[in-house]
Structure 1
Amino acid sequence: MTTAQTPARADKQAPHSDIILERMMALHPKVMDLTLDRMWRILAALDHPERKLPPVIHIAGTNGKGSTQAMIRAGLEAMGKRVHAYTSPHLARFHERIRLAGTLITEESLTQALDDCYAVNDGQQITYFEITTAAALLAFSRTPADYTLLEVGLGGRLDATNVIDTPALTVITPVSIDHQQYLGETLAKIAFEKAGILKRGVPCIVGPQEDDALTVIEAQAARLNAPLLAQGQHWHVDIERGRMVFQDETGLLDLPLPNLPGAHQIDNAGAALAALRHLGADEAACEAAVTTAFWPARMQRLATGPLVDLAPRAELWLDGGHNPAAGQAIARHLASLPRRPTHLICGMLNTKDVRGYMAPFAETVDSLTAVSIPGEQNTLPAEATAEAARAATLSAHIAPDVATALRRITADDPTARVLICGSLYLAGHILRENG
């Protein structure tokens, strides 16, 4: 996502990077327009760090980008490779967006990159995502590594990450309806934007797609002579006897299920394995990819912290998915778990298809308690979230905050399953507050 996540307010205790990030917010154009012109300008002023990176794997899609990237990174690191990784948005602190050779960027390195970008930009208009992406590319160019993983922020064709002439590989995870105000109202239009990361002659791993999306991706690939390795055609993944079975032209892998929970992670793991096999990974690296990857706020079980202490007998989960496809995936996973009373605590942005997100939960959960997202100016008010939930035939209530909602739910049922969900911004707030 390219939506700016507001950094901590600058004060005497704030890290210097937070102060610079605060200044960068003021550079954002008054009207949001998708273009690469500002990126090309700042990259030229920085002497083109995007041309000095280790081989790049560029990942686009509506859902699953972060999980797929995490599994690719885990597999490459199991091969002994040093991996840069860029993702967005962050959850608890900005440093999460940038990994240098496997380690979260230090305050010193981040401050230097941000300072340099702010200086060369010279007060010109530029979006928060663009200038911070430039800072990430600059930091990557200054640190030796074997691979660079770039996650698209929004769309692909005009995303700030789409400045690599010839990546080593591209990946497109499932495409669905989201960010229509920027990408278009139809699946075909959105797929066209995602397929904008394809480059002439560069192979692309393609996760499961609806026909309208796949048709567009295939047409763009044919135009660029970019080989496609698509699920269901060139590689297959499934669950058999409690194991994950992956097969491509190289052969068959019989692996444990991914440690990232949810049936949708099977498809994400398949895309990651297809990418790793293309890069020459052996079976041990592929197993590490699915068993050691960690990606927070994607059906993450909360085991410790103040919220857990409030309801020690409850089963507490956190997920940041926020569109209808994510709602479907989460609902399927909840339905697959052993039956127990299940409740949602939900906060969403006012730019999302709230009813579409909630509809899949109608047969799965016992209630939804709506909250506003603390500190987020684009939050949907709790009352509006509850109204949308009722329209989706859910039993809905409101609460002033997550802790109050959790107390109310577990007062009636101390052993309930509770999922805090609806937005990565709410998830980030929970991770910061819960420790």
Structure 2
Amino acid sequence: MDQITAILDRLLALHPKEIDLSLGRMQRLLKALGSPEKQLPPTIHIAGTNGKGSVTATMRAMLEAGGKSCHVYTSPHLVAFNERIRLGTDGKFVSDAKLLEALYACEEANAGEEITFFEITTAAAFWLFAENPADVLLLEVGLGGRLDATNVIDAPLATVVTPVSMDHEKFLGNAIAEIAFEKAGIFKRGCPVIVAPQDDEAQSVIERQAARLKAPVHWFGQDFSAYADQGRLAFQDEAGLYDLPLSCLIGNHQVVNAGLAIATLKAANLWPGQQAAAEGLKSINWPGRLQPLISGPLIDQCPDGVEVWLDGGHNPGAGLSIAAFMGEQEERSPKPLYMISGMLTTKDPIGFFRPFVGLARHVSTVPISTTMTARDPLELAEFAKSAGLDATPCLSIEKAIADIVACALEDCEPPRILICGSLYLAGEVLAANGMPPE
């Protein structure tokens, strides 16, 4: 066992629950560390159910194209824990040596007190961000917002709310309005809020919470808009119309994410200019989101003509976006769609699978080995059937691909394979295919 794995295992054992939303433990540890949260670079705080990571990656690409250095905090990781912390000093994931230094510092300062894994590792990220210079910190909420461990900063440049939908109901509530209230918990007095298109219930909550804090709100569709126009991205606000390349991230929902990123940088007075924004939109790196897999050990077992797509989306909102994209692909180039899916027990599989009814021919459900909270493939297959899909459990990703290829060869139709349902599963696929994030 390497040193990073050993200390992460120790930190995981400091609290009996993986998730226990509270700010008290985090505030205690940060104080013991010398309050690194008060020494951070200017910060943009990002909450929401879907699209947080894509919006963050888009902002980073545009800022870096404009010459700014960015610290970035996201979760979960796909393959290695280091992916959660990107340092603006070199634009790369934190090195093993620096990560170990930060984790040891937090372990010592915590002195064995009860604290969740996310809280203590977020404290380690803040320690690193305070110790290393950067122009901007892009800070993604872990879960919810109001009581999330990241919500200890006093005056961010801007706060962002991506689309809110049902997810993590056990911790955030069983209604969109309740979940939106938790997301809006990151708003700070007078700090601009940039908001993606929302359900009426979520919009009402966001509007009320922003008004309470006198936080100016920039609404997608009212104060700014973004849309695809003849293969280009059109962004419009009160300053005018920008003609930009489409995001290199795939899917119509990425048009909204790009628009949200642009509006946020403008509201935060960090707009790098149209040329840098254009360069950034063409160079975004955010794996595991409608990512085509072209080569690698998993793909080598497929005959010519087989398409393989990977997406870590795992809730009903993500299911709608992914299914919409797969429907567009079917119209453009008809191929039978086969799904391979693994999911966590905390997710809503029926809500995720339902948009694929009439689109997917079959679902192969697989185990996920990198988490203790994965659904059993047999149980997940039953959920897929309840949603209206044909489904069977499978022992592994490799076996699922082999079965799909064999079935498709019998029908002489090269299939389109979608691997989906969990970021943990996406990480396992990227690792098995020799494609760890960079």
Q: Do Structure 1 and Structure 2 share a fold, with TM-score over 0.5?
A: yes
Aligned pair 1:188/2:177, yes or no? yes
**Counterpart pick for 1:395 among 369, 390, 397:** 390
Letter of the aligned partner of 1:73 in structure 2?
R
Q: In the alignment, what sits opposite 2:292?
A: 301
User: CA 1:79 to 1:94, structure 2 compared with 1: closer, same or farther past 3 Å?
Assistant: same
RMSD: 1.1
| 2:416 corresponding residue in structure 1 | 417
Contact 2:262–2:271, Cα closer than 8 Å, also in 1: no
CA contact (8 A) 1:276 1:286 kept: no
SS at match of 1:116: helix
The whole-number CA distance in structure 1 between the counterparts of 2:19 and 2:182 is 17
In the superposition, relative to structure 1, how do residues 328 and 128 fare at CA in structure 2: closer, same or farther (>3 Å)? same
Of residues 236, 249, 264 in structure 2, which corresponds to 1:247?
A: 236
- For residues 112-261 of structure 1, the aligned pairs below 5 Å read 112-261=101-250
Number of the residue aligned with 2:317:
325
**Alignment equivalent of 1:77, drawn from 39, 64, 75:** 64
> How far apart, in 1, do the equivalents of 2:18 and 2:87 lie?
33
Q: Distance in 1 between matches of 2:194 and 2:113?
A: 37
| 2:403 paired residue among 403, 408, 429 | 408
- Kindly indicate whether the alpha-carbon contact (under 8 Å) linking 1:221 and 1:228 is maintained by their aligned counterparts in 2: yes
Identify the residue that residue 278 of structure 2 maps to in structure 1. Answer: 287
State how 1:49-88 maps to structure 2 within 5 Å.
Answer: 49-88=36-75
Q: Which residue of 1 aligns with 2:368?
A: 373
Letter in 2 for 1:315: E
How far, CA to CA, are the matches of 1:216 and 1:399 in structure 2?
A: 43
The question of 1:41 aligning with 2:28 is answered: yes
CA distance in 2, matches of 1:431, 1:412: 24
Taking the aligned partners of 1:103 and 1:166, their CA distance within structure 2 comes to: 26
Q: CA deviation at 1:425?
A: 0.9
Distance in 1, matches of 2:21 and 2:219, equals 28
Secondary structure, in 3 states, of the residue corresponding to 1:153?
coil
Distance 1:220 1:421 in 2: 34
Q: Secondary structure at the match of 2:360?
A: coil
1:429 aligns with 428
User: 2:348 matched to 1:353?
Assistant: yes
Q: Distance in 1 between matches of 2:392 and 2:14?
A: 40
Q: Deviations over 1:383-402 (max 9, x none)?
A: 11111111111111221111
Relative to structure 2, which stretch is displaced further, 82-91 or 337-346?
Answer: 337-346
Identity of aligned residues (%): 51
Q: Which has the higher mean CA deviation after the structures are superposed, 319-328 or 413-422?
A: 413-422
Match of 1:28 among 2, 9, 15: 15
Other-structure match for 1:6:
none
Secondary structure of the equivalent of 1:91?
coil
In 2, are the aligned partners of 1:75 and 1:276 still within 8 Å (CA)?
A: no
For 1:215 and 1:194, the matched residues in 2 are separated by 13
Question: If the length of structure 1 is used for normalisation, what is the TM-score?
Answer: 0.95
Please state how far the C-alpha of 1:281 moved relative to its aligned partner: 2.3
Superimposed CA distance per residue, residues 228-276 of structure 1 (whole angstroms, 9 cap, x where no aligned partner): 1110110011112222111011111112221100111111111001112
- For residue 383 of structure 1, the aligned residue among 370, 378, 382 is 378
Cα deviation for residue 374 of structure 1 reads 2.1
Range with greater deviation from structure 2 (397-406 or 134-143): 397-406
State the TM-score, normalizing by the size of structure 2: 0.95
Range 145-154 or range 245-254, more displaced: 245-254
- Secondary structure in structure 1 of the residue aligned to 2:405: helix
Deviation at 1:38?
0.4
Q: Which runs of 5+ in 2 are unaligned?
A: none
How many Å apart are 1:30 and its aligned residue? 4.2
Find out whether 1:96 has 2:83 as its counterpart.
yes
Match of 2:328 in 1: 336
- Confirm whether residue 316 of structure 1 aligns to residue 308 of structure 2: yes
Maintained 8 Å contact 2:318/2:352: yes
